[in-house]
Amino acid sequence: MISKSTATGLILLVLVGSAATVGAQSAPSTLEGMWSNPPTKAIGVFCAFFCTDAGIDRLNALLDDPANDVRPFQQLQSEAAAYQTNGYIRPRLTAAALKTYPVDPADDPGLLRCEAWGLARQMFAPHQLEIHRRGNDLVELHYGEWDARRTVYMDGRKRPANQPSSRLGFSVGRWEGATLVVETTGVSKNLTSWRSEHSDQLHVIERFTRSAKDNTLLLTAIIEDPWSLKEPIVAKKIWAWSPTSQIAPYENCEPITAVKRGTGQP
């Protein structure tokens, strides 16, 4: 007997795995290499920034209902996203976090000041993710979005007690078989991908696994924060194997100051 979330995960892997077959080149023997935008499938598009099992289950149910065959995909996607927001994300937020949730897109520091994202958004960022091992002690995660780089220490060290918090935090990792497990703390107060605020007590465990067909990468992240969350949020993200993709410089961000407020209500 498998749990519903496990079943959802399996469905997700099957869907994305079968999706990326076309045009895929030989897969890597490890997680190392370049991963990029998810396969162009309903679930891949839905998870382009982040998704949850609740949202995926809802989208699958909508797609499996013959009555919805004539409805535009965007409607179904929006309905599943709203379900995910109201049925999964919002109930987990504390009263303190709900005071500002959802943060107005017009207040996004990335938009107003070209301020690069914090960990809770960066880890779900669209576009490329390049994974490099640096010997046995370091793994580097290099993202296309913001050209951001994270260093993951694999040598068992702890975060130095006097280390100040930072935008992407301090990450340590380990291999569990072929799965890369990354644990991050020391992240400065910032925003999540679902537009809630979090504190510097954020604690994230990311698990990166390859699909059975070796051509998609699945991230399952457990996010905890006693200030903003009553219980952990488990969020997911998919990339497709993309060995020829190259991360281009990220040097032309232009701040936008003329914005409209109130456009981001879920």
Partner 1 sequence: MTRTRQGLLIAAALVLSVKSASSHHSFSAVYDDKRTISVTGVVRQFRFVNPHALMSVEVTDDEGKVVQWTVEFAGRLNLSEVGWTAESVKSGERVTVTGNPAHTIPARMSFLRLVRPDGTVLLPAGPRRADAIEEERRERARLRNQQK
Q: Is 23 left (phi over 0), alpha (psi -120 to 50) or beta?
A: left
Q: Which stretch binds partner 1 (CB under 8 A): 27-35, 120-128, 170-178, 185-193?
A: 120-128
Q: Are 71 and 256 in contact (CB under 8 A)?
A: no
By the rule CB under 8 A, 126 interacts with partner 1: yes
Can you tell me which residue has the tokens 């994974």?
A: 131
Which of residues 9, 144, 173, 186 is near partner 1 by CB under 8 A? 144
Which CB, 136 or 252, lies closer to partner 1?
A: 252
Q: Are 234 and 53 in contact (CB under 8 A)?
A: yes
By the rule CB under 8 A, 79 interacts with partner 1: no
Which CB, 68 or 151, lies closer to partner 1?
A: 68
Q: Which stretch binds partner 1 (CB under 8 A): 68-76, 84-92, 131-139, 228-236?
A: 68-76
Q: Are 182 and 171 in contact (CB under 8 A)?
A: yes
Binding mask 225-264 for partner 1 (x = CB under 8 A): --------------------x--xxxxxxx-x-xxxx-xx
Which CB, 63 or 138, lies closer to partner 1?
A: 63
Q: Is 199 helix (H, G, I), strand (E, B) or coil?
A: coil
In DSSP terms, which residues pair with 132 in a beta bridge? Answer: 140
Which CB, 5 or 245, lies closer to partner 1?
A: 245
Q: Which stretch binds partner 1 (CB under 8 A): 59-67, 93-101, 173-181, 183-191?
A: 59-67
Radius of gyration from C-alpha coordinates of the chain: 18
Q: Are 28 and 6 in contact (CB under 8 A)?
A: no
Cβ neighbours of residue 205 under 8 Å, at least 6 residues apart?
181, 182, 183, 184, 221, 222
Cβ neighbours of residue 203 under 8 Å, at least 6 residues apart?
183, 184, 185, 223, 224, 225
By the rule CB under 8 A, 67 interacts with partner 1: no
By the rule CB under 8 A, 156 interacts with partner 1: no
By the rule CB under 8 A, 23 interacts with partner 1: no
Cis bond leading into 102, ω under 30°? Answer: yes
Binding residues for partner 1, total number by CB under 8 A: 44
In DSSP terms, which residues pair with 151 in a beta bridge? Answer: 140
Binding site for partner 1 (CB under 8 A): 19, 36-37, 40-42, 45, 48-49, 63-64, 66, 69, 72-74, 104-106, 108, 110-111, 126-128, 144-147, 245, 248-254, 256, 258-261, 263-264
